[in-house]
Amino acid sequence: MKKCFDAEKYLKIQKKKIKQRIKMFDKLYIEFGGKLIDDQHAARTLPGFLPDLKIKLLQEFKDDAEIILCINADAIERSKIRADHMISYETEVLRLIEFLRSKGLYVSSVVITLFEGQKKAKDFAERLKDYKVKTYFHTFTKGYPTDVDTIVSEEGYGANPYIKTTKPLIVVSAPGPCSGKLATTLSQLYHESKRGTNAGYAKFETFPVWSLPLKHPVNIAYEAATADLADKNMIDYFHLEKYGIPAVNYNRDLETFPVLKEILTRITGKTIYYSPTDMGVNVIGECITDDKAVQRAAKDEIIRRYYRALVDLKKGAVTPDVPERIKLLMNELNISEKDRIVAEKAEEKRIKSGNLPSACIKVGKKFIVGRKTGYLSPISSTMLNTLKALSRIPDEVDLIAPTILEPILEIKNKTSNFKESYLKLSEVLIALSICSSTNPVVKKVLENLSKLESAELHSTHMISDDELVILSNLGINATSGTEIDIN
């Protein structure tokens, strides 16, 4: 896909913006919203934005920054899952610690928020000792959200332990939403004030983009991505009233701003921010180089979100209002699920193959289809067909001989409680890797996996979670229908 976002420009001006905000205080606490790493939504919506661009940004401050990670005790207790990687929030925290350290960034502590003595939260704190990171427990803030006198007191934020910080820039992040980033940050500001430190607050949110129109597809794509939270973009009426400039924010920030402003004023003794937009430091809107292409990419993302919401509804993960909400957003932009061509072609393949589960992938301008076979899942089959097409290998040539596939399937079913009549993508890729050690053609074929980044794929039947993770890791934008393949 054509790049329409200037990542180099973004790093340059974003660094400058944050430096300007740091100079206002002795310490600046920045609440980092969204994903700190692997921001695939931003990469899909703004082609040219790198999934780990925020890490590159933080590396610009690595000598002056430290990171606090927050995780909700209830999320630990319920083993809440990060859907894009199918791992728990606590596993994601450990992954973040390791990844950030590998990039030369300092993770100073982990805060377990809304702690009420949960056993799993205590166990997780014990695990964190192996990572040599300090762990703190914060409870619910007494008086929140209306009793500001209690909130900004020893009974409120003062009841939490102070998190020792040593750098001028403190990034507060989390594995997902509702992890307690804001409460942790405000608690720290209270304690810093008691210590005579001039500490400040800023918010780093990638979306919505405040400088784009309210109904711009990029901002609507954010609404689609948070449809389960019922977030709604709105004009920041505080900003409009104060400066006469329209800016886009979302309902929750606007609803909580009056209380947040009062809390910040009580803690710091002065009013710095007059709107939620004032608090933000993100300059992402200034780095779009092709608005038309960005709009198209954002519309594609909204359609993908709709398909995924339908699957989540089928699984019981969301309520019916979630896909309905996304459908209304699609109607606003005059787009529909029929605009996803790979879905139409996958359905055509299913009909032609006698109703067998089928899939279609688009790589560049090529559409390649596949179906469930005697040995292969529809995803495995489609991927093998795609690799052959990219390698200019005739369709009738088997990259993996049936004599290899058959014993793999046999041993799989002997060692599994759930019998399957086909091999999934991970098993096929492993088989290909083994074959590549003796077959130079297969070795060359595997090199073409890198060409699948940004490819579009659709399956007529639900894709298994493990296959979805692999497709995501390959950079493939995958969707599916809601039917379940019953072997």
Task: Please give the helix or strand (H or E) that residue 327 lies within, else none.
Answer: helix 321-332
What pLDDT, on the 0 to 100 scale, is given for residue 437? Answer: 87
The percent helix, strand, coil of the chain (3-state, each to 5) is 50, 15, 35
The domain ranges of the chain are: 7-287, 342-483
User: Is pLDDT at 451 greater than 80 in this prediction?
Assistant: yes
Mean pLDDT over residues 136-153, rounded? Answer: 94
Mean pLDDT over residues 213-226, rounded? Answer: 97
In 3-state terms, what secondary structure has residue 32?
Answer: strand
Query: Within 13 Å of residue 409, how many CA atoms lie on the same side as its CB?
Result: 20
Q: 3-12, 265-274, 430-439: which has the minimum mean pLDDT?
A: 430-439
Mean pLDDT over residues 343-356, rounded? Answer: 96
Q: Residue 395: how many CB atoms within 10 A of its CB?
A: 9
End-to-end CA distance of the chain: 35
Buried b (16+ CB within 10 A) or exposed e, 153-188: beebbbebeebebebbbbbbbbbbeebbbbbbbbbb
What pLDDT, on the 0 to 100 scale, is given for residue 1? Answer: 67
What pLDDT, on the 0 to 100 scale, is given for residue 210? Answer: 96
Mean pLDDT over residues 151-168, rounded? Answer: 96
What pLDDT, on the 0 to 100 scale, is given for residue 402? Answer: 81
What pLDDT, on the 0 to 100 scale, is given for residue 470? Answer: 94
What pLDDT, on the 0 to 100 scale, is given for residue 85? Answer: 65
pLDDT tens figures, 12-42 = 999 999 999 999 999 999 999 888 888 899 9
Q: Residue 237: how many CB atoms within 10 A of its CB?
A: 15
What token pair was written down for 353?
């193959």
What token pair was written down for 356?
């067998």
> Would you place residue 177 in the very low, low, confident or very high pLDDT band (cuts 50, 70, 90)?
confident
Q: State the chain's mean pLDDT as an integer.
A: 93
What pLDDT, on the 0 to 100 scale, is given for residue 84? Answer: 63
Alpha-helical regions (H) of 195-274? 217-225, 237-243, 251-268
User: Is pLDDT at 486 greater than 90 in this prediction?
Assistant: no
> Would you place residue 422 in the very low, low, confident or very high pLDDT band (cuts 50, 70, 90)?
confident
What pLDDT, on the 0 to 100 scale, is given for residue 407? Answer: 82
pLDDT tens figures, 233-279 = 999 999 999 999 999 999 999 999 999 999 999 999 999 999 999 99
User: Is pLDDT at 312 greater than 80 in this prediction?
Assistant: yes
User: Is pLDDT at 406 greater than 90 in this prediction?
Assistant: no
What pLDDT, on the 0 to 100 scale, is given for residue 96? Answer: 95
What pLDDT, on the 0 to 100 scale, is given for residue 485? Answer: 82
What pLDDT, on the 0 to 100 scale, is given for residue 420? Answer: 67
From CA 334, how far away is CA 226, in angstroms rounded?
20
User: Is pLDDT at 411 greater than 80 in this prediction?
Assistant: no
> Would you place residue 5 in the very low, low, confident or very high pLDDT band (cuts 50, 70, 90)?
very high
DSSP assignment of 367-421 equals: EEEEE--SSB-HHHHHHHHHHHHHTT--TTS-SS-HHHHHHHHHHHHHS-SS--S
pLDDT-above-70 percentage for the chain: 97
Mean pLDDT over residues 296-323, rounded? Answer: 96
Q: Residue 411: how many CB atoms within 10 A of its CB?
A: 10
Mean pLDDT over residues 323-334, rounded? Answer: 98
pLDDT-above-90 percentage for the chain: 81
User: Is pLDDT at 418 greater than 70 in this prediction?
Assistant: no
CATH annotation of 342-483: 3.40.140.40
> Would you place residue 69 in the very low, low, confident or very high pLDDT band (cuts 50, 70, 90)?
very high
Q: Answer for the pair 222, 242: CB distance below 8 angstroms, yes or no.
A: no
DSSP 236: -
What pLDDT, on the 0 to 100 scale, is given for residue 375? Answer: 86
Mean pLDDT over residues 336-351, rounded? Answer: 97
For domain 7-287, the CATH class is alpha beta
> Would you place residue 82 in the very low, low, confident or very high pLDDT band (cuts 50, 70, 90)?
confident
What pLDDT, on the 0 to 100 scale, is given for residue 123? Answer: 95
- pTM (2 d.p.): 0.92
Q: Which residue, among 385, 410, 257, 230, has the nearest Cα to 321 in the 3D structure?
A: 230
From CA 161, how far away is CA 154, in angstroms rounded?
11
> Would you place residue 487 in the very low, low, confident or very high pLDDT band (cuts 50, 70, 90)?
low
> Would you place residue 438 in the very low, low, confident or very high pLDDT band (cuts 50, 70, 90)?
confident
